[in-house]
């Protein structure tokens, strides 16, 4: 396939390289003027989009996506697929998809989980919203860039699935960390805590697979000085998107809101920026019952 790839950053560059390695003809554009293995550089976003069967965008946020979409939609061939893999707000995803469909294109929102390691290894999971025909065309590309693609329904539903998942993840990480800090103060060893919880009703992905306590459970960023992994500021971005969506859909999400407030505090007023999101544990360790 002829693929246009716009946004060749930490995630986009390895994803584009994997498509080129698999034999697709990939033309890429990034405002940062980067060179990426196997990818033919274009002089503009329109240039990368012209004549492509599928145009993939992997951009920082919904505002930039909307801006890029307005540029490339008129340049794309009728029947082509606009495949956005960025994590953006549900409203922007739905607006961009409607504009693409009006112009005779297929549109998919397909945010990913798996991070930079998954992008490089081609093991991402795609959560996909949009029409069935577009999904069928893009499936071949999902299979190269990832290990799983779930079609979640109409446009915006990929973003909805991503932010709901990450709201659970953020809140669960916080409570796992605060439970470890409480266990410390009660004199319970971290090994005992892990052994009990990981096989009891408090078990979770954050405890069992990504344990925030160093030296306990399988290898995780905690064993590497809390270098990300999944950075706290990216978790904050996703929690903010979840809270925007909750407001827009009139949903009551008190724990999600508390998680967003805590990560905002950690990233913006403490030392959370650039640290893994599991570094909430050393944060709680330093605090007492009435700390604010
Ligand atoms: P990044 O900042 O490394 O890459 C974004 C790229 O977009 C940059 O290279 C930037 O120069 C480029 N860009 C910005 N404006 C542009 C424009 N107008 N035209 C063309 N290029 C433009 O970010 P990333 O880590 O690659 O993340 C990309 C997306 O994937 C984000 O939405 C992020 O939330 C999501 N995501 C990231 C991770 C992760 O672990 N990094 C995991 C899952 C999802």
Predicted pLDDT of residue 52: 98
Nearest ligand 1 atom to the CA of 116 is 40
CA separation, residue 131 to residues 21, 50, 91, 268 (Å): 27, 22, 17, 39
Residue 8 CB–ligand 1 contact under 6 Å: yes
pLDDT in tens, 241-253: 999 999 999 999 9
Rounded distance, CA 274 to CA 195, Å?
Answer: 30
Predicted pLDDT of residue 135: 97
* Residues carrying an active site annotation: 162
SS3 (DSSP) at 94: helix
SS3 (DSSP) at 157: helix
Residue 11 CB–ligand 1 contact under 6 Å: yes
pLDDT in tens, 112-151: 999 888 999 999 999 999 999 999 999 999 999 999 999 9
Taking CA atoms only, the protein residue closest to ligand 1 atom 25 is 10
CA of 10 to the centre of ligand 1 (A): 7
CA of 60 to the centre of ligand 1 (A): 4
Mean of the per-residue pLDDT values for the chain? 97
pLDDT in tens, 21-76: 999 999 999 999 899 999 999 999 999 999 999 999 999 999 999 999 999 999 99
| Contact call for residues 42 and 27 (beta carbons, < 8 A) | yes
Q: What is the pTM of this model?
A: 0.94
Find, among 30, 27, 83, the residue nearest to 50 by Cα: 27
Contacts 24+ apart (CB under 8 A), 95-103: 95/66, 96/65, 96/66, 96/69, 97/129, 97/130, 97/155, 97/156, 98/155, 99/69, 99/70, 99/73, 100/69, 100/73, 100/76, 101/131, 103/73, 103/74, 103/76, 103/78
pLDDT of 291 over the 90 cut: no
Residue 7 CB–ligand 1 contact under 6 Å: yes
pLDDT in tens, 183-232: 999 999 999 999 999 999 999 999 999 999 999 999 999 999 999 999 99
Rounded distance, CA 225 to CA 291, Å?
Answer: 24
Taking CA atoms only, the protein residue closest to ligand 1 atom 17 is 31
CA separation, residue 145 to residues 79, 113, 114, 141, 160 (Å): 22, 12, 11, 6, 21
| Contact call for residues 143 and 123 (beta carbons, < 8 A) | no
pLDDT of 292 over the 90 cut: no
Share of the chain above pLDDT 70, in %: 100
Q: At what angle do helices 62-72 and 90-102 cross, to 10 degrees?
A: 10
């Amino acid at each position: 396939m002829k693929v246009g790839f716009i946004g060749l950053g930490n995630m986009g560059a390895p994803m584009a390289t994997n498509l080129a390695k698999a034999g697709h003809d990939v033309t890429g554009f990034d405002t940062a003027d980067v060179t990426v293995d196997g990818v033919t550089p274009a002089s503009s976003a329109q240039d990368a989009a012209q004549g492509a069967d599928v145009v993939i965008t992997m951009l920082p946020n919904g505002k930039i996506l909307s801006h890029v979409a307005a540029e490339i939609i008129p340049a794309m061939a009728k029947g082509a697929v606009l495949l956005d893999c960025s994590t953006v707000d549900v409203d922007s995803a739905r607006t961009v998809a409607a504009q693409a469909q009006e112009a005779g294109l297929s549109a998919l929102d397909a945010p990913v989980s798996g991070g930079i390691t998954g992008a490089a290894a081609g093991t991402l999971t795609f959560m996909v919203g949009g029409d069935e025909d577009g999904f069928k065309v893009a499936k071949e590309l999902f299979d190269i860039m990832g290990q799983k693609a779930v079609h979640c329904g109409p446009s915006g539903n990929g973003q909805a699935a991503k932010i709901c998942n990450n709201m659970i993840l953020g809140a669960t990480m916080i409570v796992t960390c605060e439970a470890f800090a409480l266990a410390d103060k009660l004199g319970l060893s971290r090994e005992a805590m892990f052994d009990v919880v990981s096989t009891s009703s408090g078990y979770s992905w954050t405890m069992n697979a990504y344990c925030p306590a160093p030296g306990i459970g399988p290898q995780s960023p905690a064993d590497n000085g809390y270098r990300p992994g999944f950075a706290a500021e990216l978790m904050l971005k996703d929690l903010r998107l979840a809270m925007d969506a909750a407001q827009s859909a009139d949903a009551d999400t008190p724990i999600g809101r508390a998680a967003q407030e805590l990560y905002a505090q950690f990233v913006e007023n403490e030392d959370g920026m650039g640290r893994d999101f599991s570094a909430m544990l050393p944060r709680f360790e330093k605090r007492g019952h009435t700390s604010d």
